[in-house]
Amino acid sequence: TSGERRVRYPHPVLAARAARVLRDNDTGSVVTAAPRLYPHMWSWDAAFISIGLARLDVRRAIAELETLFAAQWRNGMVPHIVFTDADAYFPGPDRWGTDVARDGPSNVRTSGICQPPVHAIAVQRVLEAARMSSPGDRADAERFARHIWPKLYAWHRWLVEYRTPGSSGLIAIVHGWESGMDNSPRWDLPYAAVKPGAELPPYVRKDLSAVGDPGERPTDREYDRYLWLIEEMRRASYDQRRIVRDSSFLAGDVFITALFAISCDVLIELGREFGQAPEPLGNLAEWAANARAAVAASCHSVSGMARDRDLRTSRWLDTQTIAGFAPLLCGGAPDGVQLRLLSLLDSERWCGHPGLLAPVPPSVSPLRPGFTPRQYWRGPQWPVVVWLFWWAFERRGWHERARRLRDAAILLTEDGSFGEYYEPFTGEPLGSADQSWTAAVVLDWLC
Ligand code: 9YW
């Protein structure tokens, strides 16, 4: 099999290669998400990238997060893309047209949606790396953490203020791109209700020529819907209240909700350390508790898996995807549910599937009908998602479990190509090569 033909770099060489990817993708002002496919800064990529950069150069890591937060909208939203001058990605700033937004930043061009809130986690991780590095790095990182805290708080407050509609308590997304898992089957039902209007302006995709096989990317049918939602938002002048009220896609995202809960915990820890006032800390504790409760309430009564919710139809979305393990990230589900999820994760439906090259969870269960091992968020394994589970397991004190997951992720990535995602049975790297966040998490694991 191609698995046996794979190159396996010794770990010091692998770490050096990962460092080189981050350096090569650095334009001087941002580390782009990937060299050809993604020549801009993506929000949650920047968080992971800063975690990797902190192992090489703490100041460079800080600068990356500062660049992202310099693009924060006045209402608190951290935009999902901060555009560079590159012209190789579609939809670019003209198509987004966020200049019409009242709350947009004036100094940079950005998209008009957000991505998962993992930034507090990144700030804490950068701080940890800086403290192991040198007194100067430590002082810089502490100054930075103190300075960025109110911005992180404003970002979290935006999610609560604008994105917790209805009674589910789940954080809502208005576009599949906000989940970070664009074409995951999680969103098939909500997208089925999105009907692109005849007024959808024509467009030409640029992503297909940047990957070897267009079959590894979302389909044109999916892209029509992605673009239609942008059209709706642009017509609403990116007014959040209007979008949440009227857009044809609104879904409670259980994975984001879980990440939000732990990011609030981390922000509380940072806030205590740096003397923040009791009131915002109290708010964060309340937001974390609500988010945890929402995740726990979403769990399926038989499988235990957490579920997203279509907030337009008030229906639970039952799909067997990696997001169903959200309670293992944030805790808060009853012990019985947690045990069921852990044994499900180990079972042949997930990591224990005998055909996997490396026992890390694929984006979709290999035993689910519709699992497609090469197509983006519909089957492949994504190292950054594995990093989140690894980090959460460590934090929860499950060190042995965390160690096994990390070892498996290294096995998957030690071919040194730093693929965007991997074919689970052969370990073939797919999508973009030299993807920054893949290099960043591997570097963090190896340091
Ligand atoms: C796109 C940059 C981004 C990630 C997303 C991923 C993909 C962009 O790439 O979306 O055009 O498809 O789905 O999570 O942030 O790496």
**Backbone CA torsion sign across 184, 26, 96, 62:** positive
**pTM for this prediction:** 0.98
239 is catalytic: no
- Quick one: which of 306, 346, 310, 349 has its CA closest to 329? 306
Question: Are 334 and 296 within 8 A, CB to CB?
Answer: yes
Structural tokens at position 92: 């670019």
Structural tokens at position 229: 């939602």
Residue type at position 8: R
Question: Are 78 and 72 within 8 A, CB to CB?
Answer: yes
Structural tokens at position 305: 């898996």
Atom number, ligand 1, closest to the C-alpha of residue 115 = 15
Most ligand 1 atoms within 8 A of CB, residue of 22, 41, 42 to mutate:
42
Instruction: Tell me the C-alpha distance between 40 and 24, whole Å.
Output: 14
Most ligand 1 atoms within 8 A of CB, residue of 22, 32, 41, 45 to mutate:
45
**Predicted pLDDT of residue 5:** 75
Phi, psi of 41 (to 5 degrees): -95, 125
**Backbone CA torsion sign across 237, 240, 241, 246:** positive
Our CA angle for 257, 258, 261, nearest 5°, is 90
Instruction: Tell me the C-alpha distance between 375 and 380, whole Å.
Output: 7
* Spacing, Cα 180 to ligand 1 middle (Å): 6
Which residue ranges have their beta carbon within 6 Å of ligand 1? 33, 38, 42, 44-45, 180, 182, 207
Q: How many CA atoms lie within 13 A of 134 on its CB side?
A: 9
Q: Whose CA is nearest to atom 16 of ligand 1?
A: 33
Residue by residue, DSSP assigns 55-91 as TT-HHHHHHHHHHHHHT--TTSPPPSEE--S---SSS
pLDDT tens per residue, the chain (447 residues)? 444 678 999 999 999 999 999 999 999 999 999 999 999 999 999 999 999 999 999 999 999 999 999 999 999 999 999 999 999 999 999 999 999 999 999 999 999 999 999 999 999 999 999 999 999 999 999 999 999 999 999 999 999 999 999 899 999 999 999 999 999 999 999 999 999 999 999 999 999 988 889 999 999 999 999 999 999 999 999 999 999 999 999 999 999 999 999 999 999 999 999 999 999 999 999 999 999 999 999 999 999 999 999 999 999 999 999 999 999 999 999 999 999 999 999 999 999 999 999 999 999 999 998 899 999 999 999 999 999 999 999 999 999 999 999 999 999 999 999 999 999 999 999 999 999 999 999 999 999
Most ligand 1 atoms within 8 A of CB, residue of 68, 84, 175, 177 to mutate:
177
Give, in order, the Cα–Cα distances in Å from 88 to each of 27, 31, 79, 386.
Answer: 15, 15, 19, 29
* Spacing, Cα 257 to ligand 1 middle (Å): 19
Which residues contact residue 343 at a Cβ distance below 8 angstroms, ignoring those fewer than 6 apart?
none
Find the helix or strand (DSSP H, E) in which 410 lies. Answer: helix 399-413
Match domain 2-39+148-446 to its CATH number in 1.10.3720.10, 3.30.420.40, 3.30.460.80, 1.50.10.10: 1.50.10.10
Catalytic residue among 64, 140, 253, 420: 420
Atom number, ligand 1, closest to the C-alpha of residue 218 = 12
Instruction: Tell me the C-alpha distance between 309 and 373, whole Å.
Output: 25
**Backbone CA torsion sign across 276, 278, 283, 284:** positive
Question: Are 269 and 122 within 8 A, CB to CB?
Answer: no
